[in-house]
């Protein structure tokens, strides 16, 4: 991941600040940076969103395609994640570096969505064992300024919210086979219930405390972080320790507790905002958590 | 899809007979005793069998069996780092590679390493790195290779334990051993060190609070070096799960210590005290 | 049994052929001092193993008095040999050496100081991409080849960076050697045909410059076609050209 | 005699007030912990605190360190430096090869500017050298042979026979009696019967 | 300094042993290393075996899958052998797709199956033109100390002997296969091809069952495969020192003896399981 | 990959290469022929034809070697076999190993340490005995490149027909009918077996017979080598 060099003196300064709940940019330990969300930004997708968090910018596009259900779950559709870390975001992504991080991020996304409630997969089934919707979730990192996971998860939730899947009509043809017809009417479509889609909260352990939405400088002062994906109800769909250091069991408990609180709080304004943007119908930039 | 030209090719398509089984395999039930007779809601780990130093070519190696889960880990190095950058000058580099034998799971796997194997390798890396004294190995890299021979659940947890044994057997300096443990949360109840069926089964009728958790733990330093969960759990069961896993790690700790001591003793008699 | 060997001079030998050099053999040619006279010198393509002489390259066996033998073969890849003069291309500068491509398996090095009049202060004006005519002073399998652009007396003696103009092209190593032979008919005939400057590297590189680009090109083409012509055919071709438009 | 105590990484051995840390151990919060699986060894040295170490008889991997004497094999040479593979650190063989470089100016102590690499080493020679630096990102371990005891210990002549040293800069082939130049190490007794 | 000699000039080191007609590991020139066979240890495979030849360890898992027969041979099934040399087994192998040695070994295993006719491909047919078995024999080297081919050939043979396929019938109405995983039967192994490898040192000395280092220093390698009837089903000498017909004869004699020994060993192991 | 492109990048017009043929008399092998030095970009090249089977070989080197493949006391030889259609598979890789180790035994690799040699073999047409044709083409190309060799070698394939007769240099149809197939590489010095590769099962006697037949056939090929070289050099005196 993108890194910055931080001198020892800077480190001490950041550490002491965080000890007193005062971060370099003036935030408290549990505050996010300014976040902006836009939905329906890419025209040739079925759903899309762009999120910027500080200088981190993420674009998510969702394409719905008809595929074959997995043999283990014949009456469900599924999601495919692909994260593209283009060299645009930071030169470090050039070559293998970006590819590896992309794999890592998409693997985590699979884990985050590996449960029954996040997205109702049964709704994506068209005909059992034969056809289903496959949602290809493509994430593009436009700019990297720390806290990729959180920005990415918010963008995915927003993009899923804006996703419109055409209605399908199945008719039997003469030979007894099935024919699938897609509705041409752009308003005759299926929407997804995104209420249960979790958001990721990354907590960075800096000194003896932990901070939410760490900048690259803060990240450089931290040896380990915990990513926690939280639903609006406060249940946890994925936890993962990242980074080269280890954590005390007690601080893990504290961090999951914080994660739950912050995550739960994140969903409320986010949903409100998404609904607002939907009802407005027009596209305009709206500040969020500013 | 490009064809694999470096392996003997079989038929274009073949399917596992499991998909056509007339009697479905026994399902994982969420009540009563577990299929292998262990207790639920208790820290009941499978007995482990470990041996160090079986591989002649490796610097250090360990073989581990926990129930039917079988894995092998070899450690090579420290050797010259292939791609160098600035941090390598001060500090060694740890590389991890975890793969599954094609016959290790109920369904045959591919030879080509999938993204899941890469994810396992990464988790293994993050779980081991905090325990290693990498600053003692400037300019060099330490390679950890894990091969899962049979997957009967909780592979990552056991891979962590096995790898730390192999590292210790290789004489790589470490702050502590790393032990792994996994649990499967199933509604209000949980099972420790789940088998493959327990891990992947659908569980109880109520689909709430279903999750899996794997933890890597440094027993002497009381630190968690790796943590991963998926599924859907309440924060309370997650915290409880972490505690249970730590307890599970302490259960296998003496076995691991003894295995290492045995390996040291077998390798050489005690040095004279002069 | 040098007689056996000498009988084969001029004929084709293959790798794996071998000759016995046993001096106690019955048909040893009686010589005044066998030990001295029989000291066989093995050139390229031949090697000794005990009292046997082994052929390791295919080609024609050549002989030079008193007892020097070698294999004359037609190759394209240059293998550097000490003392040979070659044409090289400067590929990089590093520290106090230039790296020069001479067509061998690795690049040769050339010191800044190995030029006429060069000192630590007065460095020669050599740029990457320049053509050089230089002599190999170190060339063996264990070491990087080393070039110089001065002779033992410290004189350039025709070596150094090429001036502007002229054309560089590749010919077979055999043709390069033919051009360099002391009495080369080919060379004499060419000189009759056109006034030109020509530099021949033992590495099969040829540099020519004549009056005008067109003539230079004709010359280059001519030399390339000489590769496969018998002397008679060649003379015919040259004759035609002499009468022709140019 | 009681059997020697065995320990594994992470075992708390004693307080810093009782012992001084030696090898195979680390300090944490005022205690000494083991960082290896091995035998606990306490050494009493006079008045001071005993030194506590954890040792393994099986060769622990040594990395070439600054000041270490290494045995290496020359793999290539050019006028500026010789490239080598480090085979041993002290008398411990390395399982994996590490590459090193002997620069022209580090070949011998005197007349450094007159060194000709070709008259000092040849590919295949076995050389004793000392590590002077771990090098940087681009370079390998830097080695020196600028001591009497350092230099070529085993070399083969063109004819393939192992040569016998004549002087500090010359060796001779026992078959052809041909002489070749080398930076010869003063032969140490343990190499005589090799 | 003896050890010093070993790494600095391994060739001389080996010569000094061969002069005394013995080898660095204490064996005589014509002696095979201790060979052990263990079968059926992997429960996720339909057949499995682990073979140790001295330090060299190879594991083979056979997985049977259902496939459609090829158009050219409608009454035959498939056997797909693949050999993997993971970085785990020796520091000389790097991660990534199989290298030349692993590929050549895979091809050699396929050749043994074909040449020896150990199994009749017709036996793997379930319904002509419709359904057949495809047996994936995945061989993984866990410890590479030379003589991979002998170890692989033996492991594959033992794993196939251990393989038990579930009962399958094709449902007349739906045309879909129905598999009864509970009922299984073994494969009919018609021949027992056994490989014996040799190497030639310094163009003259003949060694049996070379270890990794001996293999590396040898001037030629040779593998002879014989069956119980004394027929040759593979003489593989990829190159190296030329050999006379008489010399080959001598090696074949040794290989025939080896076949008998190994055949007895396999029979014993199979019996011990039943 | 680039190497194989190089083979096709030029039409096979020849300078001093030449086509020769030889009709064997006693041991029956198909007509065979060879053309050397037919590619201009490689350091040595040859095409070898046995009946309808033909192979084109190109040698590059001694050239600069990749650091990872460098061997301090000898040259690194790489053999690449390109099938007529498609990508090389495991089978080609096994053949590459056979050809490479045979070449390594005949080449004096220690004369060019720390350099690379590459032999590219392109199958042009396969009508049986392909491996032996690879060996023959490879040997001719290495000779053309003037690489130092301790001896020459040639490849001979023998098939044992279902009725037990031995056919040397079989066609693809004869190969298909045979119950065993053996390919040998024979050296030019002692006429011993450098390489064997077999398919099918056979008795020890059968193999010894095949070796004897192959040794007899090798004589012809070696005398062809000498004769073709003689003609080639007769031009340039």
Identify which of F41, B169, B180 has the alpha carbon closest to the alpha carbon of residue D58: B169
Query: What is the pLDDT confidence band of residue D59, given thresholds at 50, 70 and 90?
Result: low
The answer to whether B3 contacts chain F (CB < 8 Å) is yes
Q: What is the pLDDT of residues C72-102, one digit of tens each?
A: 887 888 999 999 999 999 999 988 889 999 9
Q: Label residue E240 exposed, middle or buried (CB < 10 Å: 0-12, 13-18, 19+).
A: buried
Residue F186 in any domain: the answer is yes
SS (H, E, C) A141-203: EEECCCCHHHHHHHHHHHHHHHCEEECEEEEECCCCCEEEEECCCCCCEEECCCCCCCEEEEE
The answer to whether F195 contacts chain E (CB < 8 Å) is yes
Q: What is the pLDDT of residues B146-171, one digit of tens each?
A: 999 999 999 999 999 999 999 999 99
Query: What is the pLDDT confidence band of residue C1, given thresholds at 50, 70 and 90?
Result: low
Instruction: Give D-chain residues touching F68 at CB under 8 angstroms.
Output: none
Domains of chain E: 26-273 (3.30.230.70)
Compute the half-sphere exposure of residue D140: CA atoms within 13 Å on the CB side of its CA: 19
Contact C95 D80 (CB under 8 A): yes
* Contact residues, chain F to chain C, C-beta under 8 Å: 15-16, 37, 42-44, 61-65, 106, 108, 111-116, 143, 145-152, 187-189, 225-226, 229-230, 233, 235-236
Residue A174 in any domain: the answer is yes
Contact at 8 Å (CB) between E7 and D87?
A: yes
Identify which of E194, E193, E187, E232 has the alpha carbon closest to the alpha carbon of residue E77: E187
What does the pLDDT average to over E87-112?
A: 95
* CA-angle at A195, arms to A194 and A198, nearest 5°: 85
Q: Quote the minimal CA–CA distance from D164 to chain B in Å.
A: 34
Residue of chain C with shortest Cα separation from F235: C230
Give SS3 for D53. strand
Q: How many CB atoms lie within 10 A of CB B173?
A: 24
**What φ, ψ does residue F175 adopt, rounded to 5°?**
-60, -40
Task: Report the side by side order of strands in the sheet with A224-230.
Answer: A209-212, A199-206, A224-230, A236-242, B223-232, B210-218, B179-186, B189-192
pLDDT of residue A176: 67
Domain count, chain A: 1
Do D172 and D93 lie in a common domain?
Answer: yes
* Alpha helices (H) in B184-234, listed in sequence order: 196-200
Long-range contacts of B35-44 (CB under 8 A, 24+ apart): B35/B195, B35/B197, B35/B198, B36/B67, B36/B195, B38/B191, B40/B189, B40/B190, B40/B191, B41/B189, B41/B190, B41/B191, B42/B192, B43/B192, B43/B244, B43/B247, B43/B248, B43/B251, B44/B192, B44/B193
Of B80, B86, B172, the CB nearest to D98: B80
In the predicted structure, residue A285 carries a pLDDT above the cut 80: no
**What φ, ψ does residue B146 adopt, rounded to 5°?**
-115, 135
Task: Output the six-digit token pair for B77.
Answer: 């190095």
Contact B19 A71 (CB under 8 A): yes
**C-D C-beta contacts closer than 8 Å:** 19
Q: Span C2-72: which CATH code?
A: 2.40.50
In the predicted structure, residue A234 carries a pLDDT above the cut 50: yes
Residue D64 in any domain: the answer is no
Domain count, chain D: 2
Q: Span C167-242: which CATH code?
A: 3.30.1370.10
Residue F38 in any domain: the answer is yes
Stated pTM of the model: 0.92
Query: What is the pLDDT confidence band of residue B203, given thresholds at 50, 70 and 90?
Result: low
Q: Quote the minimal CA–CA distance from D178 to chain C in Å.
A: 16
Q: What is the pLDDT of residues D87-96, one digit of tens each?
A: 988 888 888 8
Q: What is the pLDDT of residues C19-33, one digit of tens each?
A: 887 655 444 444 444
In the predicted structure, residue D191 carries a pLDDT above the cut 70: no
Of E80, E166, E176, the CB nearest to B8: E80
Contact D39 B270 (CB under 8 A): yes
Touch between chain C and chain E (3+ CB pairs, < 8 Å)? no
pLDDT of residue B253: 96
Residue A220 in any domain: the answer is yes
A28, containing H or E segment: none
Q: What is the pLDDT of residues E18-52, one digit of tens each?
A: 999 999 999 999 999 999 999 999 999 999 999 99
Residue F10 in any domain: the answer is no
pLDDT of residue F9: 35
DSSP assignment of C140-187:
-TTB--EEESS-TTS--TT-EE--SS-EEEE--HHHHHHHHSTT-HHH
pLDDT of residue F101: 96
Q: Quote the minimal CA–CA distance from B17 to chain D in Å.
A: 45
Residue of chain D with shortest Cα separation from C107: D78
In the predicted structure, residue E68 carries a pLDDT above the cut 80: yes
DSSP assignment of chain E:
-HHHHHHH-HHHHHHHHHTTTB-TTS-BTTPPPPEEEEES--TTSSEEEEEEETTEEEEEEEEEEEEPPPSS-TT--EEEEEEE--TTT-TT--SSS--HHHHHHHHHHHHHHHHHT-S-GGGGEEETTTEEEEEEEEEEEEE--S-HHHHHHHHHHHHHHH-EEEEEEE-TTT--EEEEEEEEEE-------EEEEEEEETTTEEEES--HHHHHH-SEEEEEEE-TTS-EEEEEB-SSS-B-HHHHHHHHHHHHHHHHHHHHHHHHHHHHH-
Q: What are the C-alpha distances in Å from A105 to residues A36, A152, A198, A231, E248?
A: 21, 9, 15, 19, 59
Of E86, E134, E177, the CB nearest to B11: E134
pLDDT of residue A117: 87
Query: What is the pLDDT confidence band of residue A99, given thresholds at 50, 70 and 90?
Result: confident
Distance CA D182, CA A55 (A): 62
Residue A215 DSSP one-character state? -
In the predicted structure, residue A287 carries a pLDDT above the cut 60: no
Q: What is the pLDDT of residues C107-163, one digit of tens each?
A: 999 999 899 988 888 888 899 999 999 999 988 888 889 999 998 888 888 899 988
Query: What is the pLDDT confidence band of residue F20, given thresholds at 50, 70 and 90?
Result: very low
Instruction: Give E-chain residues touching D156 at CB under 8 angstroms.
Output: none
Residue of chain D with shortest Cα separation from C142: D123
Instruction: Give F-chain residues touching B3 at CB under 8 angstroms.
Output: 87
Distance CA A137, CA A42 (A): 13
In the predicted structure, residue D188 carries a pLDDT above the cut 80: no
Domain count, chain F: 1
Residue F166 in any domain: the answer is yes
For residue D103, the enclosing domain spans 69-191
What does the pLDDT average to over D45-63?
A: 79
C22 or F233, greater pLDDT: F233
The answer to whether B82 contacts chain F (CB < 8 Å) is no
What does the pLDDT average to over D123-145?
A: 89
Contact F201 E117 (CB under 8 A): yes
* Contact residues, chain F to chain B, C-beta under 8 Å: 87-90, 93
The answer to whether C42 contacts chain D (CB < 8 Å) is no
CATH code of the domain containing A111 = 3.30.230.70
Of D73, D96, D194, the CB nearest to E1: D194
Residue A218 in any domain: the answer is yes
Handedness of CA F32, F33, F39, F45 (dihedral sign): positive
In the predicted structure, residue F26 carries a pLDDT above the cut 70: no
Give SS3 for F199. strand
Which residue matches tokens 């021979």? Answer: B149
Residue A250 in any domain: the answer is yes
Distance CA C119, CA A248 (A): 67
Distance CA C171, CA C74 (A): 11
* Contact residues, chain F to chain D, C-beta under 8 Å: 70, 72-73, 113-114
The answer to whether D12 contacts chain B (CB < 8 Å) is yes
Residue D97 in any domain: the answer is yes
Instruction: Give F-chain residues touching B6 at CB under 8 angstroms.
Output: 90, 93
Distance CA A14, CA A12 (A): 6
What does the pLDDT average to over E151-165?
A: 97
Question: Which has the minimum average pLDDT: A148-162, A260-274, C15-29, D171-185?
Answer: C15-29
Do D29 and D122 lie in a common domain?
Answer: no
Contact C14 F150 (CB under 8 A): no
Q: What is the pLDDT of residues A52-70, one digit of tens each?
A: 999 999 999 999 999 999 8
SS (H, E, C) E68-80: CCCCCCCCCCEEE
Contact B9 F87 (CB under 8 A): no
Chains with 3+ CB–CB pairs under 8 A to F are B, C, D, E
pLDDT of residue C34: 44
Identify which of C211, C208, C210, C239 has the alpha carbon closest to the alpha carbon of residue C224: C208
Identify which of B233, B195, B197, B196 has the alpha carbon closest to the alpha carbon of residue B213: B233
Q: For residue A11, what are the β-bridge partners? A: none
Of E116, E117, E245, the CB nearest to F208: E245
What is the share, in percent, of chain C residues with pLDDT greater than 70? 91
Give SS3 for D116. coil
Query: What is the pLDDT confidence band of residue F235, given thresholds at 50, 70 and 90?
Result: low
Distance CA A149, CA A85 (A): 13
In the predicted structure, residue F237 carries a pLDDT above the cut 70: no
User: What's CA F169's distance to the chain center, in Å?
Assistant: 13
The answer to whether B217 contacts chain D (CB < 8 Å) is no
For residue A113, the enclosing domain spans 21-279
Residue of chain A with shortest Cα separation from B209: A235
- ipTM of the assembly? 0.91
Domains of chain B: 40-263 (3.30.230.70)
Residue A287 in any domain: the answer is no
pLDDT of residue B243: 96
Q: For residue F55, what are the β-bridge partners? A: F48, F123
- Tell me the residues of chain E between 191 and 230 that have a Cβ less than 8 Å away from chain B: 212
Question: Which has the minimum average pLDDT: A88-102, B115-129, E238-252, F49-63?
Answer: A88-102
Give SS3 for B266. helix
Q: Quote the minimal CA–CA distance from C33 to chain F in Å.
A: 32
**Exposed e or buried b for every residue in D153-169, given b needs 16+ CB within 10 A?**
bbbbbeeeeebebeeee
The answer to whether B260 contacts chain D (CB < 8 Å) is yes
Among B2, B9, B10, the strongest candidate for a mutation testing the E interface, having the largest count of E CBs within 10 A, is B10
Contact F143 C76 (CB under 8 A): no
pLDDT of residue C186: 82
Of B116, B227, B233, the CB nearest to A240: B227
Contact D80 C146 (CB under 8 A): no
Task: Output the six-digit token pair for F1.
Answer: 């990959």
Are domains C2-72 and C85-162 of this chain identical in fold? yes
Question: Which has the minimum average pLDDT: B173-187, D123-137, F98-112?
Answer: D123-137
Peptide bond into B78 cis (omega under 30): yes
pLDDT of residue C23: 55
Distance CA A26, CA C150 (A): 71
Give SS3 for D130. strand
What does the pLDDT average to over F32-41?
A: 90
Q: How many CB atoms lie within 10 A of CB B130?
A: 26
Give the CATH number of domain C85-162; options: 1.10.540.10, 3.40.50.300, 3.40.109.10, 2.40.50.140: 2.40.50.140
In the predicted structure, residue E1 carries a pLDDT above the cut 50: no
Domain ranges of chain C: 2-72, 85-162, 167-242
Touch between chain E and chain F (3+ CB pairs, < 8 Å)? yes
């Amino acid at each position: 991941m993108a890194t910055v060099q931080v001198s020892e003196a800077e480190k001490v300064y950041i550490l002491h600040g965080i000890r007193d709940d005062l971060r370099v940019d003036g935030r408290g330990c549990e505050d996010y940076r300014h976040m902006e969300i836009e939905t329906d930004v890419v025209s040739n997708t079925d759903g899309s969103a762009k999120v910027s968090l500080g200088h981190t910018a993420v674009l998510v596009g969702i394409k719905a395609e008809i595929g074959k259900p997995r043999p283990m779950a014949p009456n469900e559709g599924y999601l495919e994640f692909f994260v593209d870390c283009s060299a645009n975001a930071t030169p470090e992504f050039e070559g293998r570096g970006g590819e590896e991080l992309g794999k890592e991020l998409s693997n985590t996304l699979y884990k985050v969505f590996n449960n029954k409630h996040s997205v109702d997969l049964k709704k994506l089934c068209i005909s059992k064992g034969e056809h289903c919707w496959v949602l290809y979730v493509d994430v593009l990192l436009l700019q990297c300024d720390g806290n990729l996971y959180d920005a990415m998860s918010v963008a995915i939730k927003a993009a899923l919210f804006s996703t419109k899947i055409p209605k399908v009509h199945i008719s039997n043809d003469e030979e007894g086979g099935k024919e699938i017809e897609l509705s041409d009417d752009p308003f005759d479509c299926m929407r997804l219930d995104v209420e249960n889609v979790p958001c990721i909260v990354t907590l960075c352990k800096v000194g003896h405390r932990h901070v939410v939405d760490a900048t690259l400088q803060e990240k450089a002062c931290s040896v380990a972080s915990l990513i926690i994906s939280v639903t609006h109800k406060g249940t946890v769909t994925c936890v993962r320790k990242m980074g080269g250091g280890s954590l005390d069991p007690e601080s893990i408990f504290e961090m999951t507790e914080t994660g739950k609180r912050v995550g739960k709080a994140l969903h409320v304004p986010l949903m409100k905002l998404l609904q607002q943007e939907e009802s407005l119908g027009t596209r305009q930039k709206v500040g969020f958590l500013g | 899809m490009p064809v694999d030209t470096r392996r003997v090719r079989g038929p274009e398509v073949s399917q596992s007979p499991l998909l056509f089984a007339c009697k479905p395999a026994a399902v994982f039930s969420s009540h009563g005793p577990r299929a292998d007779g262990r207790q639920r809601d208790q820290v009941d780990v499978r007995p482990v069998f470990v041996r160090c130093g079986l591989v002649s070519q490796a610097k250090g190696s360990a073989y581990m069996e926990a129930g039917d889960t079988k894995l092998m880990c070899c450690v090579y190095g420290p050797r010259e780092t292939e791609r160098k950058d600035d941090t390598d000058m001060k500090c060694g580099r740890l590389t991890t590679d975890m793969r599954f034998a094609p016959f290790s799971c109920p369904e045959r796997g591919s030879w080509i390493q999938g993204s899941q194997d890469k994810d396992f390798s990464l988790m293994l890396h993050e779980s081991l790195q905090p325990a290693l004294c990498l600053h003692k190995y400037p300019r060099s890299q330490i390679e950890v290779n894990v091969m899962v021979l049979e997957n009967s659940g909780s592979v990552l947890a056991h891979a962590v334990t096995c790898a730390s044994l192999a590292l210790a057997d290789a004489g790589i300096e470490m702050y502590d051993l790393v032990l792994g443990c996994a649990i499967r949360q199933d509604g209000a109840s949980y099972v420790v060190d789940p088998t493959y069926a327990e891990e992947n089964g659908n569980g109880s009728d109520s689909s709430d609070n279903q999750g899996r958790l794997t933890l890597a733990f440094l027993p002497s330093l009381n630190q968690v070096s790796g943590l991963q969960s998926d599924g859907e759990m309440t924060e309370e069961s997650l915290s409880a799960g972490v505690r249970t896993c730590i307890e599970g790690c302490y259960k296998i700790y003496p076995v691991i210590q003894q295995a290492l001591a045995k390996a040291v003793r077998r390798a050489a008699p005690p040095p004279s005290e002069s | 049994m040098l007689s056996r060997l000498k009988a084969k001079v001029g004929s084709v030998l293959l790798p794996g052929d071998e000759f016995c050099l046993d001096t106690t053999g019955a048909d040893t040619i009686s010589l005044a001092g066998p030990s001295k006279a029989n000291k066989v010198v093995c050139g390229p393509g031949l090697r000794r193993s005990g009292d046997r002489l082994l052929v390791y390259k295919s080609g024609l066996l050549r002989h030079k008095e008193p007892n020097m033998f070698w294999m004359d073969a037609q190759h394209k890849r240059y293998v550097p040999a000490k003392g040979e003069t070659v044409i090289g291309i400067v590929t990089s500068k590093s520290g106090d050496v230039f790296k020069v491509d001479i067509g061998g398996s690795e690049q040769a090095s050339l010191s800044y100081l190995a030029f006429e009049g060069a000192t630590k202060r007065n460095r020669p004006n050599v740029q990457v991409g320049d053509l050089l005519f230089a002599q190999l002073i170190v060339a063996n399998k264990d070491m990087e080849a080393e070039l110089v652009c001065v002779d033992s007396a410290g004189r350039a003696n025709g070596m150094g960076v090429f001036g502007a103009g002229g054309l560089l092209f590749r010919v077979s190593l055999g043709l390069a050697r033919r051009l360099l032979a002391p009495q080369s008919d080919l060379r004499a005939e060419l000189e009759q045909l056109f006034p030109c400057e020509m530099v021949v590297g033992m590495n099969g590189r040829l540099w020519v410059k004549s009056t005008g680009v067109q003539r230079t090109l004709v010359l280059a083409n001519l030399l390339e076609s000489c590769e496969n012509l018998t002397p008679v055919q060649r003379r015919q071709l040259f004759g035609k050209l002499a009468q022709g438009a140019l | 005699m009681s059997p020697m105590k065995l320990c594994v990484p992470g075992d708390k051995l004693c307080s810093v007030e009782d012992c001084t840390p030696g090898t195979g151990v680390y300090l944490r919060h005022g205690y000494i912990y083991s960082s290896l699986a091995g035998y606990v060894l306490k050494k009493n040295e006079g008045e001071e605190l005993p030194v506590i170490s954890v040792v393994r008889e099986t060769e622990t991997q040594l990395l070439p360190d600054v000041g270490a004497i290494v045995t290496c094999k020359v793999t290539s040479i050019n006028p500026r430096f010789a490239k080598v593979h480090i085979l041993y650190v002290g008398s411990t063989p390395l399982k994996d090869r590490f590459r090193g470089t002997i620069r022209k100016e580090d070949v011998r102590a005197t007349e450094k500017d007159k060194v000709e690499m070709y008259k000092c080493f040849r590919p295949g020679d076995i050389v004793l050298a000392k590590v002077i630096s771990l090098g940087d990102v681009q370079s390998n371990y830097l080695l020196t042979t600028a001591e009497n005891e350092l230099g070529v210990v085993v070399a083969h002549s063109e004819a393939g026979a192992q040569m016998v040293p004549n002087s500090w800069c010359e060796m001779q082939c026992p078959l052809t009696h041909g002489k070749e130049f080398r930076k010869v190490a003063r032969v140490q007794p343990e190499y005589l019967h090799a | 300094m003896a050890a010093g000699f070993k790494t600095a000039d391994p060739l001389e080191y080996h010569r000094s042993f061969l002069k005394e007609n013995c080898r660095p590991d204490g064996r005589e020139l014509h002696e095979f290393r201790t060979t052990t066979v263990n079968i059926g240890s992997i429960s996720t495979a339909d057949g499995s075996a682990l073979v140790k030849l001295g330090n060299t360890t190879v594991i083979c898992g056979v997985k049977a899958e259902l496939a459609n027969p090829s158009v050219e041979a409608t009454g035959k099934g498939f056997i797909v052998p693949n050999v993997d040399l993971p970085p785990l087994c020796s520091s000389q192998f790097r991660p990534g797709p199989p290298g030349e040695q692993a590929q050549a070994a895979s091809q050699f295993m396929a050749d043994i199956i074909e040449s020896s006719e150990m199994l009749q491909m017709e036996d793997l047919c379930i319904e002509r033109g419709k359904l057949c078995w495809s047996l994936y024999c995945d061989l993984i080297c866990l410890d590479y100390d030379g003589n991979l081919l002998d170890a692989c050939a033996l492991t594959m043979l033992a794993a196939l002997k251990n393989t038990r396929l579930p009962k399958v019938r094709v449902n007349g109405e739906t045309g879909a296969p129905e598999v009864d995983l509970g009922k299984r039967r073994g494969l009919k192994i018609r021949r027992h091809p056994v490989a014996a490898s040799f190497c030639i040192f310094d163009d003259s000395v003949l060694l049996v069952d070379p270890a990794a280092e001996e293999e590396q220093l040898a001037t030629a390698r040779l593998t002879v495969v014989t069956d119980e009837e004394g027929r040759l089903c593979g003489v593989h000498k990829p190159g190296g020192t030329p050999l006379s017909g008489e010399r080959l004869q001598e090696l074949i004699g040794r290989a025939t003896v080896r076949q008998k020994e190994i055949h007895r060993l396999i029979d014993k192991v199979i019996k011990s399981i039943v | 990959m680039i190497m194989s492109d190089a083979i096709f990048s030029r039409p096979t017009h020849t300078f001093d290469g030449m086509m020769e043929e030889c009709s064997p008399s006693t041991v029956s092998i198909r007509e065979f022929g060879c053309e050397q030095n037919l590619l201009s970009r490689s350091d040595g090249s040859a095409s070898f034809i046995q009946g309808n089977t033909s192979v084109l070989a190109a040698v590059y080197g001694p050239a600069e070697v990749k650091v990872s493949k460098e061997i301090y006391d000898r040259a690194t030889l790489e053999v690449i076999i390109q099938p007529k259609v498609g990508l090389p598979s495991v089978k080609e890789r096994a053949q590459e190993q056979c050809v490479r180790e045979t070449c390594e035994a005949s080449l004096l690799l220690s004369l060019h340490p720390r350099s690379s040699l590459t032999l590219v073999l392109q199958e042009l047409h396969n009508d049986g005995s392909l491996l032996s044709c690879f060996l023959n083409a490879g040997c001719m190309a290495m000779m053309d490149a003037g690489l130092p060799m301790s001896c020459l070698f040639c490849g001979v394939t023998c098939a044992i027909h279902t009725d037990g007769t031995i056919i040397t240099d079989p066609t693809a149809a004869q190969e298909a009918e045979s119950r065993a197939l053996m390919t040998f590489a024979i050296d030019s010095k002692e006429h011993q077996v450098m390489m064997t590769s077999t398919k099918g099962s056979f008795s020890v006697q059968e193999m010894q017979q095949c070796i004897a037949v192959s040794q007899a056939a090798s004589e012809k090929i070696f005398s062809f080598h000498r004769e073709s070289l003689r003609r080639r050099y007769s031009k340039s005196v």
